[in-house]
Amino acid sequence: MFSRNHRSRVTVARGSALEMEFKRGRFRLSLFSDPPEDTELQRKLDHEIRMREGACKLLAACSQREQALEATKSLLVCNSRILSYMGELQRRKEAQVLEKTGRRPSDSGPPTERSPCRGRVCISDLRIPLMWKDTEYFKNKGDLHRWAVFLLLQLGEHIQDTEMILVDRTLTDISFQNNVIFTEAGPDFELRLELYGACMEEEGALAGAPKRLATKLSSSLGRSSGRRVRASLESAGGSGSGPILLPTPAVGGPRYHLLAHTTLTLAAVQDGFRTHDLTLASHEENPAWLPLYGSVCCRLVAQPFCMTQPTANGILRVQQAGELQDWARVHGVLKGTNLFCYRQPEDADTGEEPLFTIAINKETRVRAGELEQAAGRPFTLSISNRYGEDEVTHTLQTESRGALHSWMEALWQLFFDMSQWKQCCDEIMKIETPVSRKPPQVLAKQGSLYHEMVLSETVAPGGPGEGLLLQDNTISAEIRALLSSYYSDR
């Protein structure tokens, strides 16, 4: 028999010597348990497995096409996250084993003295232009096909998705309103975007294929032979074994296909809109083919933690440039590219304006030194910045050698973070808080006249339509329902 600690996921044989040593207190169970980060990743993996089981049950019970599309989308996202989490767990286990044996993982490379800080990466205002034929868009000819599309975004082991959007030839581009944020990214991040799509007529076309095939055979083989072939096809289709010549798919429901993908890195970060190339993964013969232009426009920004969080603080005595005798006692806070000097520590928490600010940028020079060894004289460091032809130097005194070492280490780390995050440290890029995702609307059309209409609730006195206002919410809802059914039937 074995006993299992569900918190640490350790299995120990009952009555074994190892269990006796645990009871005597000679060993701690935490030495044999997974690290906290691995336990959290395992919890996420278990959650996605349960979500996948629920998505499979929901897909089997779906009776509406829109419900099946959402369930299939959830199933695809869950499968992607499960594969990502399992790969990350395997990589961490391999690193732990090699570390215990005194070896480094083959892909770890030589050890580095410093590691850059982490940061947040946000991608928003995603737009993918479409390239319709003139006869389809301008002349409105041909069959009106519709696609359900969404984006899958992956950074490391973290995967997020956008809402599902229905697309037809009335749209000139696919616009996603989501602000997708990844909170633990390094400067070497690779953000992969994958566009998936499902043709909404594909399922209906497959379902009607046996009848169309039977009709064509019956008309081409003659009346008597055609009737026999048609009867055999219809009986095969209604027997539950699936239509003849058309194998039953292994997984029911709609199928999403990878339409295009691209990978964005730190070089693509800019506080503004940029256009990036897409790699198309489908061709025109594919049933789920969508006429993509081959590019994606988005706003990709990043916020290193060194720009938004204080990296050092403490009491300093500052001698400003040109003042040889006056020393100001301040509370210094190193945050981003500035050393803020406050009158007292409470001012930094309450948002008070600092007494003065010392700029810290990629061109700043920092030197450590000691003043003359007078009684009680602390150690010093100097910060020099060049403004045009002039050089401005501030001298800082610390209270101890340890404080001086801490400030110097924080400054060197900041310079290293600047060299790794590059343009992200020039100024703080704004990241908007993402709004909560609304439940999917049934057959929500973008760009149609119905969604651009604004039903006014007031008009000017004496104007046209006075007395015929839609002030009753029930009447407005009925009209919207009628318009929605009208556009969905077109």
Residue range 164-169: average pLDDT?
90
Do 185 and 282 share a domain, yes or no?
A: yes
Asked if residue 287 is part of any domain, the answer here is yes
How does DSSP assign 11-65, residue by residue?
EEETT-HHHHHHHHTSS-GGGGSPPHHHHHHHHHHHHHHHHHHHHHHHHHH--SH
φ/ψ of residue 480, rounded to 5: -65, -40
How far apart CA 392 and CA 411 sit, in angstroms, is: 18
pLDDT at 454 over 50: no
Do 283 and 299 share a domain, yes or no?
A: yes
Question: Between these two residues, 435 and 433, which has the higher pLDDT value?
Answer: 433
Do 352 and 413 share a domain, yes or no?
A: yes
Instruction: Please answer whether residues 283 and 259 qualify as being in contact, where contact means their C-beta atoms are separated by less than 8 angstroms.
Output: no
- Domain boundary (384, 408, 425) is at 425
pLDDT of residue 285: 72
Find how far residue 327's CA is from the centre of its chain. Answer: 49
Q: Which of 316-330, 423-437, 459-473 has the highest mean pLDDT?
A: 423-437
Do 418 and 359 share a domain, yes or no?
A: yes
pLDDT of residue 475: 39
Short-list 113, 109, 122, 121, CA closest to 187: 121
Lowest mean pLDDT among 132-141, 202-211, 289-298: 202-211
The packing angle between helices 202-221 and 223-238, to 10°, is 150
Lowest mean pLDDT among 146-155, 267-276, 283-292, 448-457: 448-457
pLDDT of residue 190: 97
Instruction: Please answer whether residues 294 and 280 qualify as being in contact, where contact means their C-beta atoms are separated by less than 8 angstroms.
Output: yes
pLDDT at 78 over 70: yes
Q: How far is CA 255 from CA 60, 292, 434, 464, in A?
A: 14, 19, 29, 51
Residue 457 — pLDDT band, cuts 50, 70, 90?
Answer: very low
Residue 326 — pLDDT band, cuts 50, 70, 90?
Answer: confident
- For residue 291, the tally of other CB atoms under 10 A from its CB is 13
CATH classification of the domain holding 418: 2.30.29.30
Residue range 366-391: average pLDDT?
75
**Averaged confidence pLDDT in the chain:** 75
How far apart CA 370 and CA 378 sit, in angstroms, is: 8
Q: How far is CA 109 from CA 89, 93, 98, 104, 185, in A?
A: 20, 17, 13, 8, 20
Find how far residue 266's CA is from the centre of its chain. Answer: 15
Asked if residue 212 is part of any domain, the answer here is no
Asked if residue 321 is part of any domain, the answer here is yes
pLDDT of residue 131: 87
pLDDT of residue 157: 93
pLDDT in tens, 335-371: 999 999 999 999 988 889 999 999 999 999 999 875 4
Do 156 and 281 share a domain, yes or no?
A: yes
Alpha helices in 194-248 (DSSP H): 202-221, 223-238
pLDDT in tens, 179-193: 999 999 999 999 999
Residue 24 — pLDDT band, cuts 50, 70, 90?
Answer: low
pLDDT at 466 over 60: no
* Dihedral angle, C-alpha 184, 190, 193, 194, nearest 10 °: -110
pLDDT at 228 over 80: no
Do 194 and 272 share a domain, yes or no?
A: yes
pLDDT at 375 over 80: no
pLDDT of residue 143: 62
- For residue 366, the tally of other CB atoms under 10 A from its CB is 16
By percentage, how much of the chain surpasses pLDDT 90? Answer: 43
Lowest mean pLDDT among 30-44, 237-251, 318-332, 398-412: 237-251
Q: Which of 14-18, 246-250, 366-370 has the highest mean pLDDT?
A: 366-370
pLDDT of residue 224: 57
434 CB-near residues (< 8 Å, 6+ apart)? 178, 179, 180, 181
pLDDT of residue 470: 37
How far apart CA 183 and CA 321 sit, in angstroms, is: 40
Asked if residue 385 is part of any domain, the answer here is yes
How does DSSP assign 362-414, residue by residue?
TT-EEEEEE----TT--EEEEEEEEETTEEEEEEEE-SSHHHHHHHHHHHHHH
Short-list 15, 11, 179, 32, CA closest to 100: 32
Do 134 and 187 share a domain, yes or no?
A: yes
Residue range 308-335: average pLDDT?
86
Asked if residue 183 is part of any domain, the answer here is yes
Do 130 and 263 share a domain, yes or no?
A: yes
How far apart CA 85 and CA 41 sit, in angstroms, is: 7
Instruction: Please answer whether residues 269 and 424 qualify as being in contact, where contact means their C-beta atoms are separated by less than 8 angstroms.
Output: yes
Q: Which helix (H) or strand (E) holds 66?
A: helix 65-100
Do 261 and 179 share a domain, yes or no?
A: yes
pLDDT at 58 over 70: yes
Instruction: Please answer whether residues 291 and 131 qualify as being in contact, where contact means their C-beta atoms are separated by less than 8 angstroms.
Output: yes
* Dihedral angle, C-alpha 397, 400, 401, 402, nearest 10 °: -110
pLDDT of residue 245: 36
Asked if residue 368 is part of any domain, the answer here is yes
Please state whether the predicted TM-score (pTM) of the whole model is above 0.75.
Answer: no
Do 296 and 322 share a domain, yes or no?
A: no
Question: Between these two residues, 167 and 435, which has the higher pLDDT value?
Answer: 167
Do 50 and 156 share a domain, yes or no?
A: no
Q: Which domain holds residue 420?
A: 309-425
Burial class (CB in 10 A: 0-12, 13-18, 19+), 203: middle
Asked if residue 145 is part of any domain, the answer here is yes
pLDDT in tens, 107-163: 555 555 789 999 999 999 999 999 887 665 555 555 667 899 999 999 999 999 999
Structural domains in the chain (count): 3
Question: Between these two residues, 81 and 1, which has the higher pLDDT value?
Answer: 81
How far apart CA 99 and CA 105 sit, in angstroms, is: 8
CATH classification of the domain holding 257: 2.60.40.150
Do 195 and 342 share a domain, yes or no?
A: no
pLDDT of residue 33: 52
Residue range 18-39: average pLDDT?
56
Asked if residue 226 is part of any domain, the answer here is no
